[in-house]
Structure 1
Amino acid sequence: MTSTALRSRAWKLLEMVTTPLLPSDYLDLVGPLRAGADLRGRIEAVHPETGDAATVVIRPGRDWRGHTAGQYVRIGVDVDGTRLWRAYSITSPTDRRDGRITITVKAVRDGKVSNHLIRRAAPGTLVRLEQPTGDFVLPLSAPAKVLFLTAGSGITPVMGMLRDIDFDDVVMVHCAPKPQDVIFRGELRDLVAVGKLRLTEVHTAADGRLDIARLGELVPDWAERETWACGPAGLLDAAEDHWAGHGVRERLRTERFRPVTAVAGEGCAGVDGGEVTFSTTGRTVAADGATPLLAVGEEAGVLMPSGCRMGICFGCVTPLRAGAVRDLRTGEITEAEPGVLIQTCVSAAAGPCDIER
């Protein structure tokens, strides 16, 4: 009998002994980060950054493929017995010597995962991981002149870039309510002190929101710079209009943490919403025409898979059994028919509907 056949027979015997579990289930207990297991990570530390933000240090499993600066990772976190998935930018450099990665999380009001990671997650906690993804990254050769335009937690993917590459000429304009709300402020100041960064902070609590027309004053050569912008939708919308208006739209890359939503005009089908039935759990709730079905389900206590929550990763795809929904980004109506799938994070009720959850 060959060694391969012997191993196969031994494995089948183990399966018989461990039923209803599998041998791999026991291996996961002693080696959860081993190669070949479902990709996991172990939280090793949580470092406060501001009053409502913290950096989480994670040791990824052996099958982690590495990331490109600016990418994000989907993380599955068990909160009160329910596994919830969220996407966070990776803030560590790509060549960190100890092989760890970091995400920097800002607490969201009523955010189950963000508040759990910042205030309750302890070293030793295991989380699920997916391989990194995202195209908000630098080209292979960094441009000679770079501008980073960020606000709030929009600084996180950019920090991954700053930690990864020595730029020749980089300027950052960052918006936050108050000086103490600037994530990574100490490290940014250190980069300024050694001449690796020119930084302008806009403190919106005192100065109001950044008027994008001020860029000519803050960064006179902004139109000559390759720009990466990340932050609230209002800032990014204004930036896209500004760059397009000056004929340099191709020099602007944006990263949105929330989808661009279509404004429902008067008479738009489905704007009034309707009753949503979650057929698997048997729950029916009323929903308006502007709230994502993902949020409707979570509020009703229905287990709703999710990831990026902005229509990119397709982690929330669910069958639509009956009725119709409206895509919050485009206003397009999708009606139920056999095999139709919808993204619950960017779809709202367009009348009564039934989704398979």
Structure 2
Amino acid sequence: MTTTAPLPTAVGALRARVIKFAERVTTPLVPADYLDVIDPLRSSADLRGRIVAIHPETRDAVSVVIKPGRGWLGHTPGQYVRIGIDVDGIRQWRAYSLTSETSRRDGCIAITVKAIPDGKVSNHIVRRARPGTVVQLDQAAGEFTLGEQAPPKILFLTAGSGVTPVMGMLRNMTDTGSDVVVVHSAPTADDVIFGGELRQLERQGRIRLVEKHTDVDGMLDVATLHHLVDDLADRQTWACGPAGMLDALESRWAADGIADRLHTERFRPVIITEGDGGEVTFSKSGTVVDAGSAETLLDAGEAAGVLMPSGCRMGVCFGCVVPLRQGAVRDLRTGDVTSAAPGDNVQIQTCVSAAAGSCDIDL
């Protein structure tokens, strides 16, 4: 028996007419806007995730379990993910190491966040975030990984929340046969993030754990590190922690002629000052202007002679979308402030956005 399927072109044309009609009756919103509300994790939307659980790790650190949207491409242990979360009406972006197993059956990922003094986002996540919250996501990134095959001898050197990418690696190291030493610094035993799990790994013989409790032992002395790990030069080393520690490690490894055996991950501080108006840098053209709090970035750029992409100039067509390299801008329709740290490349609409402090636009 032979069956005849409808012609794809006919089906496509009918679908297009239905969507066109729906857009007319839902103006100024389009069907995609309603779908975002119903299913924010759908594959065709901007990549998002929903917080499904939050687990305490220490008095000031939590692990956040996130169900990513269907566009999530997975990650390599040791990588990080940038998340965008609204804090007091302002979209903030931060990068956090992924600490979950890559083989989770539920498809969820996890990040572990430590609240830092005056940390707007970290304190919000640790103290105020709740399951059900939808966050923006980027794809996983970063090169602080073990590579395709783990080396036979490994040293992990971490301090504070620097243990998070390392835990992402440890949780995914199964049957590698590697000799692994973990040297970790924290103020007290109770402040060791994943302390119980790390100690369990040592009891199982999977790692050798050296804990340095700085409130009692003082800071880790890089110059005498060979007393803790006598075969230092034979190990590939991954280090993550405060800048001072990493600087000292890089100097020591360089002096010993083994700089190629040290891999570091630095957590960069993000300091963004919000205000009303500010200095706008159009980085590609090298143009810098002072823009008022009610002046759109589109108008400010055009007045300075910058070639600005645009369309409807009403925030509808998205023809003016460009990356915000760093700084803060305010949406003139809602008053919401969006911020970005260097390298974030958060997308903004210049026709409805004004400077909310100094900012750098990728134009």
Report the AA paired with residue 339 of structure 2. Answer: P
Contact 2:326 2:343 survives alignment (8 Å): no
* Residue from 6, 11, 14 that aligns with 1:3: 11
Q: Which runs of 5+ in 1 are unaligned?
A: 261-274, 284-292, 320-343
Q: Trace 1:205-354 onto structure 2 (pairs within 5 A).
A: 205-258=215-268, 277=279, 279-281=291-293, 303-306=337-340, 309=341, 311-315=342-346
Match of 2:191 in 1: 181
Report the AA paired with residue 281 of structure 1. Answer: S
Q: Which is greater in Rg? A: 2
**1:133/1:27 Cα in 2 relative to 1: closer, same or farther (>3 Å)?**
same
- 3-state SS, counterpart of residue 305 of structure 1: strand
CA distance in structure 2 between the aligned counterparts of 1:354 and 1:198, rounded to whole angstroms: 47
- 1:277: how far off? 4.1
Contact 2:328 2:339 survives alignment (8 Å): no
Report the AA paired with residue 189 of structure 1. Answer: R
CA distance in structure 2 between the aligned counterparts of 1:216 and 1:231, rounded to whole angstroms: 19
**1:259/1:116 Cα in 2 relative to 1: closer, same or farther (>3 Å)?**
closer
Match of 1:195 in 2: 205
- 3-state SS, counterpart of residue 192 of structure 1: helix
Match of 1:122 in 2: 130
Match of 1:269 in 2: none
Contact 2:81 2:139 survives alignment (8 Å): yes
- 1:281: how far off? 2.1
Contact 1:229 1:255 survives alignment (8 Å): yes
Aligned length: 298
* Residue from 36, 60, 73 that aligns with 1:28: 36
- 1:24: how far off? 0.7
Q: Encode CA deviations 1:6-41: one digit per residue, 9 max, x unaligned.
A: 011111011111110110111111111111111110
CA distance in structure 1 between the aligned counterparts of 2:72 and 2:56, rounded to whole angstroms: 25
Is 1:39 aligned to 2:51, yes or no?
no
CA distance in structure 2 between the aligned counterparts of 1:92 and 1:81, rounded to whole angstroms: 29
Q: Encode CA deviations 1:231-252: one digit per residue, 9 max, x unaligned.
A: 0000000000010100000000
Report the AA paired with residue 28 of structure 1. Answer: D
Contact 2:328 2:337 survives alignment (8 Å): no
* Residue from 207, 214, 217 that aligns with 1:204: 214
Please give the TM-score of this superposition, normalised by the length of structure 2: 0.76
- 1:202: how far off? 0.8
- 3-state SS, counterpart of residue 131 of structure 2: coil
**1:129/1:212 Cα in 2 relative to 1: closer, same or farther (>3 Å)?**
same
Q: Trace 1:68-79 onto structure 2 (pairs within 5 A).
A: 68-79=76-87
- 1:305: how far off? 2.0
Contact 1:281 1:302 survives alignment (8 Å): no
Report the AA paired with residue 303 of structure 1. Answer: V
Report the AA paired with residue 99 of structure 1. Answer: G
Q: Which runs of 5+ in 2 are unaligned?
A: 1-8, 271-276, 281-290, 296-324, 351-355
* Residue from 66, 90, 94 that aligns with 1:58: 66
- 1:354: how far off? 8.1
Contact 2:278 2:293 survives alignment (8 Å): no
- 3-state SS, counterpart of residue 210 of structure 1: coil
**1:4/1:316 Cα in 2 relative to 1: closer, same or farther (>3 Å)?**
closer
* Residue from 129, 133, 142 that aligns with 1:134: 142
Q: Encode CA deviations 1:115-157: one digit per residue, 9 max, x unaligned.
A: 1111111111111111111111111011000000000000000
Please give the TM-score of this superposition, normalised by the length of structure 1: 0.77
**1:68/1:355 Cα in 2 relative to 1: closer, same or farther (>3 Å)?**
closer
- 1:213: how far off? 1.4
Contact 1:176 1:203 survives alignment (8 Å): yes
Contact 2:42 2:69 survives alignment (8 Å): yes
Report the AA paired with residue 63 of structure 1. Answer: G
Match of 1:263 in 2: none
Match of 1:288 in 2: none
Match of 2:305 in 1: none
Contact 1:42 1:59 survives alignment (8 Å): yes
* Residue from 63, 75, 83 that aligns with 1:67: 75
Contact 1:294 1:304 survives alignment (8 Å): no
Q: Encode CA deviations 1:255-282: one digit per residue, 9 max, x unaligned.
A: 000279xxxxxxxxxxxxxx96462526
**1:354/1:120 Cα in 2 relative to 1: closer, same or farther (>3 Å)?**
closer
Match of 1:99 in 2: 107
Is 1:169 aligned to 2:215, yes or no?
no
CA distance in structure 2 between the aligned counterparts of 1:120 and 1:82, rounded to whole angstroms: 15
